[in-house]
Structure 1
Amino acid sequence: MGKELKTAAASLGKIAMALVFLAPFYIAVVYAVKSPEEKARTGLAFPTGIHWENFTEAIRVSNFWNATKNSLIVTVFSVALLMIACSMAAYVIARNMHSRFYQCIYYIFLGAILLSFQVVMLPLYVQLKGTGMLNSRLGLILTISGFQLAYNVFVYVGFIRSIPIQMEEAAFIDGAGRLRTFWSIVFPLLKPIVSSTLILNALAVWNDFQISLIIAQKEAVRTIPLTQYFFFGQYSIKLNMAFAAFVLAMIPIIILYLVMQRYIISGVMAGAVKG
């Protein structure tokens, strides 16, 4: 009887946690397909009719496809830049941790994880404006990547230190250089951590609001999170269309997450625990 009660309690706990995490999705979908009148009258109740025009109107009003293009460009290039730069930097640090210089560099990266965006927001704005990268995709890519850099290096270093160095020494004996050894021997072994950081970086870049709000002020370079501004005016709020745009924005990143979710926990735990 005691074992059955524990099993039932565990099942109820899992169901409760699932409901907690699924509740925001339910609210978003329900509000996205309701009319303004029904939203005010029925609240979170399931809609009596589906109003697909909320989606088409949200796309039209917010210039959604241009924002989607910008978000895709920024996300793809930021994730690629982080994957290449962080893995190479982490490899050099991990293989030279006996040096005080590289230890210092490593701890600087650790300290940068604690740095909030608000601390550097003003000098960053002035610098980007002075270099002509304000209101540009390049400025957005470099800035977002810079704020993701420290965490990625930390995770990569932990994973690379778990890779036996004898494999690299064998490659050196065969005449391979440092760069060839990294791309041919080490990088293929980083598949778990590359997969997990890929999805985590994609989520962070795709959903970024703070950095995009400061840098992407012109409509031509605005990303999807900034399109929500179109639905919240001084005297009116178009909540239905805002949620419709939100649901559309979730689709690409949910697909990516479902494809690669099995790598997230294993990769992060491997990078944080091993070494």
Structure 2
Amino acid sequence: MRTKRFSKKGMWINILLFLLAVIFLVPFYICIVTAFKTPAETAVSTWSLPKGLDLSNFAEAMEKSNFLQSFGNSIFITVVSTLGIVLFSAMMAYSICRNQESRLYRMFGSALFIGIMIPFQVIMIPVYKMFKNMGLLNTYRGIIILMIGTSLPYASYLVMGFIKSIPVALEDAARIDGCNIWQTFWKIVFPLLKPITSTVGILHVLWMWNEFNMSFIVLQKEAMRTLPIQQYHFFGQFTINLNLGFASACLSMIPVIIFFLFAQKLLISGITNGAVKG
């Protein structure tokens, strides 16, 4: 009886997981199928398969969206922002964790938690006005500063949980050997943070590649736009070109899918190690 009860429970769990998988995969199906259709085929049915593989949508989407330039913008902004987040979050988390006796650093830790809870939409208008007055609109440094600043609370909070598991005795031994605080961090502590820094880096690469709100506000000139912003312009107020829009979306998904396939082992390892150490 107990085996039957567990088998029924497992069956319902499998059914639920299958339904969830279908829900998540349906948008990908629509995106890929529509990218290969002609506008006439899309008007007839969204769900039907294309009669042939119409690659003209991809060529036209690349031309109209200035794909290569937008791709370069996305690569540069994503890489530089992610490196900044990994380095600054590690330093911030270390300084807060190793100075818990200081009231000021405890306040910094609380401020990080508050920063996680505040959505970007709340500060969107003040940020726009501030960046406009500082001349940071339509610049790489403006969007990179904004992305790093809004990501540091979450990233630092992740790293803090990992640093707490590192024995302070290792740092004491390094200081006895003559290391200063910078040498202790970069030569002793930072290498031990590889599992969590890898996780933070991978998560933020995936997030920043698809980031829309901040890029839409800061990067208004066409030459500065990233891939998600260029895709948005296929969906206008009076006209919507689904075929070109989804073709552009398929092209922008390829790099991040390839990146995730190579990086998923590091991501899983970082999450697992962090859970065990915490």
* TM-score interval (norm. to shorter): over 0.9
Q: Compute the displacement of 1:269 (Å).
A: 6.4
In structure 2, the CA distance between the partners of 1:7 and 1:118, relative to structure 1 (3 Å rule), is: closer
1:132 aligns with 2:102: no
Retained in 2: the 8 A contact 1:61–1:230?
A: no
1:239 aligns with 2:242: yes
In structure 2, the residue matched to 1:148 is 151
Superposition pairs of residues 1-275 of structure 1, within 5 angstroms: 2=4, 3-265=6-268, 267-268=270-271, 271=274
The two structures, once aligned, show a CA RMSD in angstroms of: 1.8
Distance 1:273 1:214 in 2: 40
Where 2:233 maps in the other structure, the secondary structure is helix
Task: Write out the 4+ residue segments of structure 1 that deviate beyond 4 Å after TM superposition.
Answer: 268-275
In structure 2, the CA distance between the partners of 1:126 and 1:273, relative to structure 1 (3 Å rule), is: farther
Q: How many residues align?
A: 275
Retained in 2: the 8 A contact 1:158–1:273?
A: no
Between 20-29 and 141-150, report the one with greater CA deviation.
20-29
Distance 2:216 2:57 in 1: 25
Distance 2:192 2:114 in 1: 27
Q: Compute the displacement of 1:14 (Å).
A: 2.9
Distance 1:189 1:23 in 2: 41
Retained in 2: the 8 A contact 1:196–1:260?
A: no
Distance 1:209 1:147 in 2: 14
Instruction: Please report the TM-score for the alignment, with normalisation by the length of structure 2.
Output: 0.93
Where 1:261 maps in the other structure, the secondary structure is helix
Instruction: Please report the TM-score for the alignment, with normalisation by the length of structure 1.
Output: 0.93
Deviations 1:68-87 (A, max 9, x none): 11111110000000111110
Distance 2:266 2:239 in 1: 43
